[in-house]
Amino acid sequence: MQLQSELPSGSSEPKEKTILKLKLNTDPRWVNIASKNIEDILVDHAYCEQKAASTGISLIVKYPEKTRLVDELTLLVAEEWAHFERVLLELRKRGFELGPQRRDEYVVQLMTHVRRGDHRDRQLMDMLLVSALIEARSCERFKLLWQHIPDPDLSKFYYELMVSEAAHFVAYVDLAKEYRDPKEVDARLQELLRIEGEIITSLPVRDDRMH
């Protein structure tokens, strides 16, 4: 079951500056080197989908009283796990194995900006918004792979996932606004978008990482 995408009517792809709101686009060198090291990219991508599913489960477990969150994240987790299975299939088709999990420095740095402590709903807001940003950046990377990767099957695959990730971004932001004042959410999202851009700038362009 797929979450409903909220892309503009008649649009076939998300627009980073409107839907995803990213402050900084990916270095264009990334797609060139990534497409030449597709085994490592697929392995890293598989773990990204696994961790996205795990994050949704952990939020459900931590906030079981929030009915809308439980219902929507249940669908999101199922979709993320289906994506994991699809990435595994792409690996197998090419004779590759899953391989060991890699440290995702991008996510690690973003997670340091989730505020902890006694403010339970504020922490939830931050977790939802950080999750939204990870989905947004993944969506932007998938768009680059869709447009530029020479493998036509993978190009189609990444187009489909690009649309899903855009919907996940919207779903996470909407959930944050369900449980905190929308103006507070918008302000915090702008802060985290700025931080996310700084993190992207600080990280090296690697051929073995999705982020």
Q: What is the pLDDT of residues 20-52, one digit of tens each?
A: 678 888 887 788 878 788 899 999 999 999 999
- Residue 179: pLDDT band (50, 70, 90) is very high
How many angstroms separate the CA atoms of 163 and 19, rounded? 11
According to the model, what pLDDT value does residue 23 have?
83
Lowest-pLDDT choice from 50-59, 71-80, 115-124, 191-200: 115-124
Could you tell me which of 79, 44, 109, 82 has the C-alpha nearest to residue 172? 79
Burial classification of residue 173, based on how many CB atoms lie within 10 Å of its CB (0-12 exposed, 13-18 middle, 19 or more buried) = buried
Rounded mean pLDDT, 145-169: 92
Burial classification of residue 24, based on how many CB atoms lie within 10 Å of its CB (0-12 exposed, 13-18 middle, 19 or more buried)? middle
The distance between the two most distant Cα atoms of the chain, rounded to a whole number of Å, is 50
* pLDDT at position 18 over 80: no
Integer angstrom CA distances of residue 53 from 12, 17, 63, 75: 25, 26, 16, 10
Distance (Å, whole) CA 3 – CA 23: 25
- What are the CA-CA distances from residue 181 to residues 29, 75, 178, 205 (Å)? 39, 24, 8, 37
Report pTM.
0.88
For residue 172, the model assigns a pLDDT of: 97
Domains recognised in the chain with CATH numbers: 28-202 (1.20.1260.10)
Long-range Cβ contacts of 62-67 (<8 Å, 24+ apart): 62/124, 63/124, 66/124, 66/178, 66/179
Min mean pLDDT across 18-27, 67-76, 137-146 is at: 18-27
Q: Could you count the other beta carbons within 10 Å of the beta carbon of residue 31?
A: 18
Are 163 and 142 in contact by the 8 Å Cβ rule? The answer is: no
